[in-house]
Amino acid sequence: MRATGSWHGNTDTGKESVWGNRIYNPERLAFFDQHLKGMPAPENDPPVRIYVMGTGDGKKTDEGNLNHGGYWRDENEWPLERAQFQTLYLHDDGSLDSFETMEDKSSITYTYDPERPVPTIGGQLVGMFKVASPEEGGPALDDVPEFLDQWTLARNNLTEVIAAGGFHQKEGPQWIGAEEPYQLLRDRPDVLAFETDPLKNDTEVTGEVMVKLWVSSTAIDTDFTVKLVDVYPASKDYPEGYHLNLIDTIQRARYRDSWTDPEMMTPGEPVEITITLWPTSNVFKKSHRIRLDVSSSNFPRFDVNPNTGEPMGRHTKMIKADNTVHTSAEYPSRVVLPIVPGEG
């Protein structure tokens, strides 16, 4: 981080995560010198440097944030050759483990209503901002002082709409679209949460996470979202635990096989979709759980799918869709995690 604080959202990733411009600018300059000017890399400079999160004590800091912790580690290659890929299967009871089901028919169905999408609660985004209107004390952009350009004037008057970073995955009045009674996201009827038993050992996940879902829908087009969550157990500081979002993304069904040749779904017919998440590095500590949330919306980070199959941005209506995640022997939905042995 270039900021002076070590927290992003309500999660503190440790003092080592704070570079500030004093460290960040020389690192950036050395990168450009090497890759744009062809200059040699600094002597003894590691080819890969990663930030491993999750080594904190899980208590609340003086600033009121989760002490998730972390540290920098040098590596010789990327992806890590020593990472071992572990497949965890989704089951219809909400469990997540390494055992394939033997059931012939197994699935979970939820209703996705684009009029009531799942609210965005943090995430790996820069943040969402708006320019304050003149009524809110902001500038009149058509009356820019000579010493300022319009962009600088707007930038200096931004207000945050959606906060980025790590947050306890629970609705609240600060999140767009959240409604009372505010509940844990996992308890929403349109969110499927699959989680492991409490871990017996620290488990480091470092690399690209891949999710393969067998899905079907009553609609010809819909979305599927996935989110990897580090579930802290209940504690004095966090009586209901802390459900920390790590990485998430979305897949529009019509583009499941190609971004250039969209193909609508056949209602009720299972199809496999592959969703690749951004790389991460996190130690899931002993007694924590690894959770995968599956849904069909994450708004306003991602635009809602009206479920109609109409041209994007030109839909005339929105309809509900009953979306199904299959978990049977024939249609095994699963997540593949890059586990680094002996670390953490």
Pick the more confident residue, 253 or 46.
253
Q: Characterize the bridge pairing of strands 210-217 and 271-276.
A: antiparallel
At residue 167's C-alpha, the angle toward residues 165 and 171, to 5°, is 125
- Lowest mean pLDDT: which of 141-155, 223-237, 265-279? 141-155
* Per-residue pLDDT, 131: 75
User: Sheet containing 11-12: which strands, arranged edge to edge?
Assistant: 7-8, 11-12, 66-67
The band of 130, judged by pLDDT with boundaries at 50, 70 and 90, is: confident
Instruction: Note if the pTM is more than 0.85.
Output: yes
Report the C-alpha gap between 252 and 273 in whole angstroms.
Answer: 10
The answer to whether 275 and 251 are in contact (CB under 8 A) is yes
Report the C-alpha gap between 93 and 139 in whole angstroms.
Answer: 53
Task: Show me where the domains of the chain are located.
Answer: 7-75, 84-124+178-340, 128-162
Residue 25 tokens, joined: 């600018």
Q: Is 150's pLDDT higher than 50?
A: yes
The pLDDT tens digits of the residues spanning 196-239 come to 999 999 999 999 999 999 999 999 999 999 999 999 999 999 99
* Per-residue pLDDT, 153: 66
Q: What rounded mean pLDDT belongs to the chain?
A: 92
- Burial 221-230, CB ≥16 within 10 A → b, else e: bbbbbbbbbb
3-state secondary structure 74-133: EECCCCCCCCEEEEEEECCCCEEECCCCCCCCCEEEEEECCCCCCECCCECCCCEEEECC
The arithmetic mean of pLDDT across residues 50-64, rounded, is 97
- Domain 84-124+178-340 belongs to what topology? Jelly Rolls (2.60.120)
Sort 171 into a burial class: Cβ within 10 Å, 0-12 / 13-18 / 19+. Answer: buried
Q: Is 344's pLDDT higher than 50?
A: no
H/E stretch holding 29: helix 20-36
* Per-residue pLDDT, 11: 97
- List 193's β-bridge partners, or say none: 293
The arithmetic mean of pLDDT across residues 281-296, rounded, is 98
* Per-residue pLDDT, 13: 96
The pLDDT tens digits of the residues spanning 231-265 come to 999 999 999 999 999 999 999 999 999 999 999 99
